[in-house]
Amino acid sequence: MARPVQYNVKNEGGKPIQIVEGPQGYGGEGFFTARLSDVVGLARKNSLWPLPFATSCCGIEFMATMASHYDLARFGAERVGFSPRQCDLLMVMGTIAKKMGPVLRQVYLQMAEPRWVLSMGACASSGGIFDTYSVLQGIDQIIPVDVYVPGCPPRPEAVLDGFMKIQELVGNESIRRRNGEQYKALMESYGIQ
């Protein structure tokens, strides 16, 4: 007898659950057209490769986010890597000492475009409670940041929320943005060619 498998197939309203929403476009029988930016954005946002740059306690919270209960892999970000050239999402978590600043910047520079940055927790975002001579008062002093996640430490739910904000940015980004004047000006403001 066939098993009545129906979990995770329909929602409460009886409609089929969509795994991923498709891009807007025009379709008919056997064809579908959409903007290239939307299709590329859809692929990019569901296959982000995070590079965790963890220096202290927020890193432990990130481990909880990766573990089975919260499971960042559900968002297509299963492949956490430590080689900057293959990753496209730099997740900075923890207190960044000024000594560490050049290292973080170098990791960012080694990542290929397009790349995004998520700053997790008070320390990475603003120095947190460490208002001292030795701690960087926010990583946005040395590299551009796309999304800040507040908290000390942020709970995994907050990290997931920040990650989904990144996905939103990635999905809606034009494929021309990185060649635009505005983006070049942003990079130049950080002394990056």
Determine which residue in the list 123, 142, 145, 160 makes contact with ligand SF4, applying CB under 6 A. Answer: 123
Contact flag: residue 58 with ligand SF4 (CB under 6 A)? yes
Which lies closer to ligand SF4 via its Cβ, residue 41 or residue 62? 62
Residues in the chain, overall count: 193
Contact flag: residue 65 with ligand SF4 (CB under 6 A)? no
Q: Which residues 6+ apart lie within 8 Å of 71 measured at CB? A: none
C-alpha gyration radius of the chain: 19
Q: How far is the CB of 39 from ligand SF4 (least distance, A)?
A: 37
Contact flag: residue 63 with ligand SF4 (CB under 6 A)? no
**Which of 159, 157, 135 lies closest to 147, judged by CA?**
159
**Residues from 26 through 55 that contact ligand SF4 (CB under 6 A):** none
Q: Report the number of secondary-structure helices (H) and strands (E) in the chain.
A: 6, 6
Q: Please, is 14 exposed, middle or buried when counting C-beta atoms within 10 Å of its C-beta (0-12, 13-18, 19+)?
A: exposed
Q: How far is the CB of 124 from ligand SF4 (least distance, A)?
A: 7
Which lies closer to ligand SF4 via its Cβ, residue 61 or residue 173? 61
3-state SS assignment for residue 170: helix
Determine which residue in the list 50, 84, 138, 153 makes contact with ligand SF4, applying CB under 6 A. Answer: 153
The first and second tokens of residue 72, run together, are 């960042």
Element (H, E) at 53: strand 50-54
Which lies closer to ligand SF4 via its Cβ, residue 124 or residue 170? 124
Which lies closer to ligand SF4 via its Cβ, residue 37 or residue 98? 98
d(C-alpha 96, C-alpha 136), whole Å: 6
Place of tokens 């996905």: 167
Stretch that binds ligand SF4, among 13-21, 118-126, 134-142, 183-191 (CB under 6 A): 118-126
Contact flag: residue 137 with ligand SF4 (CB under 6 A)? no
Which lies closer to ligand SF4 via its Cβ, residue 41 or residue 154? 154
Residue 25: half-sphere exposure toward Cβ, Cα within 13 Å: 15
Which parts of this chain interact with ligand SF4 (CB under 6 A)?
Answer: 56-58, 94-95, 121-123, 128, 152-153
